Structure 1
């Protein structure tokens, strides 16, 4: 049985995000490839003496998954305490705030005291109210215990990892631990009353449990997991995971980790249980399987993505690994998913949900006394994002327009956002509506956050503040990324047709301010996001009320502002991206900025959206580029 002290593990895990523990990056790669997702969650309230026999079976998860490669059971003790007994392990007492994990879904007992009659837990499960978890209720005299019970399913096998874990793992998440993300995450889930949120968070519980268990292992113990802790082997695994499409060989890997070929091959095989090249092949095929499972690319494109020169060679390799050709395998997986209704089009945002649960939300005071709301999400090197009118930190962390952007920005990063003055939780009636005031607001957020050096992400008109701050504080900016931005307002740009179109929109906004705003919103939304329908347009109509409620002098600021001389003062590495078909800010605006920054990288994307949406091909192109340019 593995029991991890929460206080020590929290400290080690935080350091791993900054690169002090490379094995955590390798472990994150493995966990991500397993495609773990949460199943049903049960709210169990047990009063008085009780002893439950618990194990999830195919009948339990058939409604939620096709046949998973692994099933992992878990229980979170919300209040009270309970004993857990797994064959071959010493019974353990789990108290409030403790997470019980059974990595191989072994049958186990949950009891208040030993020697009680056993009851099969599935006979007690009742449907909960609509939108809430299922329930187990035992009424009796004595101490009361409350649990969240559920399971996780993995689509990709990782037998070496699962078999290296103990049958029973207890993770202590004590209330007296400062900034405990596990406790705050589950509290967030409970308060949200959302089964989707609760299910997503279960993945985080398993990943955190493994990280803490690895950190708790004595030197030289843990079998396969010990290989993750040996620097040379961990580095080799990281190379394989990140460069699986390259033609790697044992000699090249040995050179990169600073070992002789024979010593590296022997040590790798001893710790990992297979040769380096066998691991390379297996990992490449796993990546291929995940790409095929996603269903967005043909087999030929997947073959290219994972490094094969021909589809025929890929088909032969895939069949050796999976026992059938890729097309047949994907068809079978898709049919199984469809049969249980588990196919999902939305991205896995469990990391985002966890980051939101641990979000630091505060206020700072700008130079003119205006209160500015800001927040910090995630962990890692800081990235600051200046405010824009159509983004609110409380509401837009996971909306259809911004969820994928936030999820991408917090990957191994600390994302710091703020509400613009007049928007969200910032002061609604500030004394000034000037560009210098906006810049002062951002400066106040920087100082309040306490970061010294950071990356800067400017989106849409947020690029104006990003450019000005980077030019005036070059010592604080590591990398500057601008998307859909500009350095001069439309009146300064001077295009007669654009000026006419913009003036018309402003006038229409005045007309519809008190009238049928939805009609105007749908029209304006089609300019920002051509082809958008349903939830996207509904979201934009909500945000439209924000811009209509702002002082018109702020719109005037954006119309006549001229920062075309500012890019000359930027010394940070700069990366520029824009949608070619953007109807709000022409891509020529970003191309003009690039002329003043000859060393900047420019990426023009095949899209018409002012801010990219998650379901368009350009988003995949952008995120790959984004990850590459920000890699340290």
Structure 2
């Protein structure tokens, strides 16, 4: 698949990396993190026979202009609107994964008239962190502990105050390996996520995660979701180490929602159930 790369300038002058391919109605992909970069190259190409797929690196991350805040959902929503405005008319489809699912939901709440449909993949719902993070932490340590040497090395690297770039990549690959149900291929899958390696924007991730802790789980968020007049498809991997019950809060609140659970997939369902994932997205965007 050949991607056409372009820089989109946000309203405050920050330049955002984008890539597009395919034909048809636009489908904008919002990557996870926060602080990471677009990793949708493969699955984005597979969706390009159904839509004009638009990928982008969020502010301060990956191939976009680095080190530029502010790190707020409001600012990231404005950046996403700049990408949408460049490539699509009002009424684009959005697909967000993990943190990107939270961002895409935030955009739909802010601009429902500009979203035709929302595909919410592997998010953690709209409740407080207490709904999911303690179980996630336990599951993380248990799954990484399937290989004690990997857990020991991850702990060693995590305990350091300074990393080389190579050590940062090694730590990320070990951490990301827990996202896959197939333990024999977990490091292979995680290594593919880190290739190419752009380095994690740690300050971005820290600030946005703190913002989520303050704002998620509030009555105002529940009320906003109850009024959202946009069709939403929630896509889960049943083997995600983040408890899927956390997403029930969002499913209960939304008036126009359908949920697809892929029983053999983890946090990146397009990797472990590509056919099921493509089918779920296809029903959402057509």
Q: TM-score, normalised by structure 1?
A: 0.38
Distance 2:90 2:44 in 1: 22
Residue 507 and residue 384 in structure 1: after superposition, are their counterparts in 2 closer, same or farther (change >3 A)? Answer: farther
Residue 375 and residue 367 in structure 1: after superposition, are their counterparts in 2 closer, same or farther (change >3 A)? Answer: same
Tell me whether 1:464 sits opposite 2:115 in the alignment.
no
Maintained 8 Å contact 2:169/2:199? no
Give the superposition deviation at 1:598. Answer: 4.3
| Counterpart for residue 448 of structure 1 | 86
| Counterpart for residue 234 of structure 2 | 576
Tell me whether 1:539 sits opposite 2:192 in the alignment.
yes
Q: What secondary structure is seen at the aligned counterpart in 2 of 1:546?
A: coil
Give the superposition deviation at 1:477. Answer: 1.6
Distance 1:518 1:548 in 2: 12
Distance 2:159 2:64 in 1: 24
Deviations 1:315-346 (A, max 9, x none): xxxxxxxxxxxxxxxxxxxxxxxxxxxxxxxx
Give the superposition deviation at 1:541. Answer: 4.4
Residue 538 and residue 447 in structure 1: after superposition, are their counterparts in 2 closer, same or farther (change >3 A)? Answer: same
Tell me whether 1:430 sits opposite 2:81 in the alignment.
no
Residue 568 and residue 513 in structure 1: after superposition, are their counterparts in 2 closer, same or farther (change >3 A)? Answer: farther
Distance 2:155 2:128 in 1: 13
Distance 1:450 1:518 in 2: 35
Over the aligned positions, Cα root-mean-square deviation in angstroms equals 3.3
Give the superposition deviation at 1:450. Answer: 4.4
- Rg bigger for which structure? 1
Distance 1:561 1:546 in 2: 27
Tell me whether 1:379 sits opposite 2:23 in the alignment.
yes
Q: What secondary structure is seen at the aligned counterpart in 1 of 2:281?
A: helix
Deviations 1:212-268 (A, max 9, x none): xxxxxxxxxxxxxxxxxxxxxxxxxxxxxxxxxxxxxxxxxxxxxxxxxxxxxxxxx
Decide which of 263, 270, 273 is 1:606's aligned counterpart: 263
Give the superposition deviation at 1:557. Answer: 3.3
Give the superposition deviation at 1:420. Answer: 1.0
Decide which of 200, 206, 211 is 1:557's aligned counterpart: 211
Give the superposition deviation at 1:382. Answer: 1.1
Deviations 1:565-588 (A, max 9, x none): 4422321221111011201x3212
Give the superposition deviation at 1:413. Answer: 0.8
- Tell which has more relative contact order, 1 or 2 (C-alpha 8 A, sep 6+): 2
Deviations 1:107-134 (A, max 9, x none): xxxxxxxxxxxxxxxxxxxxxxxxxxxx
Gaps of 5+ in 1: 1-352
Maintained 8 Å contact 1:370/1:431? no
Q: How many residues align?
A: 265
Distance 2:179 2:232 in 1: 25
| Counterpart for residue 586 of structure 1 | 243
Q: What secondary structure is seen at the aligned counterpart in 2 of 1:457?
A: strand
Q: What secondary structure is seen at the aligned counterpart in 2 of 1:536?
A: helix
Task: List aligned pairs for 1:129-208, cutoff 5 A.
Answer: none
Residue 624 and residue 534 in structure 1: after superposition, are their counterparts in 2 closer, same or farther (change >3 A)? Answer: same
Give the superposition deviation at 1:430. Answer: 0.7
| Counterpart for residue 511 of structure 1 | 160
Maintained 8 Å contact 1:489/1:560? no
Q: TM-score, normalised by structure 2?
A: 0.77
Distance 1:501 1:623 in 2: 27
Give the superposition deviation at 1:429. Answer: 1.1
Distance 1:574 1:491 in 2: 22
